[in-house]
Structure 1
Amino acid sequence: MPAVIGQFDGQDVREAVLESAEARVSILNYGCVIRDWRVEAFGRAVPCVLGFSEFAPYPVHSKSFGIIAGRVANRIGGASFELGGQRYDLKANEGANILHGGPKGLGSVVWDMEMSGPNTVILRYVSPDGEMGFPGRVEFEVVFRLLGLELVCEMRGVPDRPTPINLAQHNYYNLNGGGDVLGHVLEIAADLYTPVDEALIPTGELLPVGGTHLDFRTPVLIGERDLQRQGIDHNLVLASGDARKLDEPVASLWSEDTGLELQLFSDQPGLQLFNAPTMEIPVPGHDGASYGAFGGVCLEPQGFPDAVNRPEFPDVVATPEKPYFQRLGMRIAPV
């Protein structure tokens, strides 16, 4: 049984530790958080994701560090949508919009947790009908499996009636374990992006990344694509159909300082890129690190933002006959 490391809403918060010869990953049943991910580089176990050494700071200071975001990750404009001729009003938590499933989304509840062998953990949560305003009861399951240097995450959602589901694993990566990520080299296999309005809600267009600060088709420093330090928080459109090879990474991130490289493998149509321009965490992170502006980069494979209000976007409505599934592979290795 995973060890108890804290309490939240009167429930035990537990931590499962997955270990291989090459990596060590700590996962909480609070929000399915990847609390810590260590990989050896130059004789040091580098913490490759942002997080805290104990549970207490998470409900107060975490900026969705390592969570599974949902029921619907990212933003829904106006915190509402129509489905089957009925309008649903949701619990807004970002102005007039809803972000990451609302103030009590999947990333801020306690899940059931059980080990399945030494390197696999299974988390389950039943979201009741009407939670955060979403229709239908949904049985969620998230499975993490550590295979050498690769962490595989499989996400499932089985609803009892049609309802939108769009999950996202929300690590903040920093392959140096501290400082900013402006010197990290990033590559993303995306030719298009979804432009947004001032509230970061997509306009419905798909535009080429060429000539924009979102062009990561070839490896480039994150800082070179954000010269004005205004920040990036956009959905990039990944290749689909015959152009998509699921055994090839959709994104790669590399640090010259540690020689570590992250590769992401995904079956999702989009990837949200966020470089945390205004982050300022008042308590220490792993190994005493201070997490400030550009302290991590989020690479979140998922469906498109506000897709439930955009019929031209890939469908995010799951049904009992067509339940939700996502497979994400995350590999951090020295190169």
Structure 2
Amino acid sequence: MLAFIARRLLYAIPTLLAVSVVAFIIIQLPPGDYLTTLMADWASQGGAVQEGTVLAMRERYGLDQPIYVQYYKWIVGIVTQGDFGISFETGQPVTDIIWGRLGFSFLLAFLTLCFVWLFAIPIGILSAVRQYSIADYSAAFAAFFFLAVPDFVFALTAMYIWSTFFGQSVGGLFSDQFIDAPWSWARLVDFISHVWLPVVVIGLGSLAALVRIMRANLLDELSKPYVATARAKGLSEFELLIRYPVRIALNPLISTLGWILPAVISGEIIVAVVMSLPTTGPLLLRSLLAQDMYLAGSLILLISVLTIIGTLISDILLAIADPRVRRQ
């Protein structure tokens, strides 16, 4: 088991390096850079910019150097000092900007994963066991509906209904008086009263997908000979279901952690913007629009790290749940 985990960790190192290179190159692909965008904004406001000023700022930000030099300084700073660079737009260290939002992103991701798994597994089991029943057709209709409709549409609809018919504020994760307040019981209650709506909105798409996956996998297992053998030995239907087919059908759901975790952490960017969530999603969008390469590159790198962490966690859980994985 330890050798299995060690191999996965070793594979992660070159993957992270390759992802960081690709992310940094992609950010540099659009024409111009941060200063180009900044000068265009100044010009649109009627401001005159001298060429000497542009050259001085380009040298200050290190944009006059080749891309491989910029990447080398950035990645060495991250590895040796934990320094992700300076945000061009705000002039603050990237770490100070990111860590303020990453905590809420992690918390939102954890709650969303709990919501998705809590409902996807029992609904998928019910849909498979009661195949072609009203419950099965209802679950299928709901799953395809939630998969087809974009998340931001659910966000807009939920915000309209909740504010119009219930008179509740649904933007952000706190009421105005608790945004910058220290943590207390009142702030926790206020957080809980706000966080459930974005958790449901962000989790609906993943919930619908996992319900269909669970149903399909369980139906495949229920038709196998070992189920008939276990039933012939006198096991009750519930015990038989939980001990054998459900346990095996869970494997594909466990493997989805690799893509669900980074998707939730990124905050479902449009949903986070619509609902004014203080997560990393809107921050990533703003940094890409401003071509703030150190901030955008750091966020993309962190999301990639989360993808690898999610995959590692799913591999470990699969190895625990299924001995065949460990033997392979």
State whether TM-score is above 0.5.
Answer: no
TM band (smaller chain) = under 0.3
Q: TM-score, normalised by structure 1?
A: 0.26
Q: TM-score, normalised by structure 2?
A: 0.26
Q: Which has the higher helix share?
A: 2
